[in-house]
Amino acid sequence: MREIVFDTETTGLNPAGGDRMVEIGCIEIVNRVETGRTFHAYFNPERDMPFEAQEVHGLSNLFLSDKPRFAETVEALLEFLGDAPLVAHNAGFDFGFLNYELERCGLPGVSMNRMIDTLALARQKHPGAKHSLDALCMRFGIDRSHRVKHGALLDAQLLAQVYVELTGGRQIGLGLVAETGTVSVPQSAGPIIAREPRPPRPHAALAEELERHRAFIAKLVNPLWERFAAAQ
């Protein structure tokens, strides 16, 4: 099954109050395995970047000034998303900004039926624990050392790993076909290759190895097994 894990960066918390999306990062996964296909874009928000937001993601007015507007990139984004389910952390926030930008372009919003919220999954699986992306990376042993500031593509890559762990781990990608004697592993792209197992190879000690073993045993004084043999 194809799914898209995505994250956004914005100028603030409220699109209805004038905040805009300034970055989106998307990771394609198929059967919970990353395919290597990504979509990443920065957007000119056509407004000033508040200091508090810049402190979170590091995207300044100057950096964004020559970036395309959302409307100039929306077709490529929608083509990448397709009709796949969309995975995000605190997904209502990201869906809110994505749909606000789509509506500004005169396009229909993404159906909330496509939303998968990893925050809700984490709360259900680990009630009472911390559920931030950093906390979940720490819980599952995911390296986040390169996450100095928030970044949409980097956070989507981390979230993709978290999502796999929240939904059963990487073992769910393995399939065993017992009736044919073959083992197959679902792959993210290309055909699945099934190979016959190799026949067992004989493993027997050489005559000189057996002789050396007998000589070694003969040197042992009062070995344990002789005590048990005498007791019987």
Q: What positions carry a catalytic annotation?
A: 150
In angstroms, the CA 144 to CA 131 distance is: 15
| Residue 24 to residue 40: CA distance in whole angstroms | 6
Q: Which residues pair with 175 in a beta bridge?
A: 184
Distances (CA, A) of 36 to 24, 55, 164, 207, 215: 16, 30, 15, 54, 59
Check if the beta carbon of residue 141 is closer than 8 Å to that of residue 158: no
Q: What is the rounded distance in angstroms from the CA atom of residue 116 to the CA atom of residue 126?
A: 17
Residues contacting residue 142 through CB under 8 Å, at least 6 positions apart: 136, 158, 161, 162, 165
Sheet of strand 21-30, all strands in order from the earlier edge strand to the far edge: 33-42, 21-30, 2-10, 86-88, 115-117
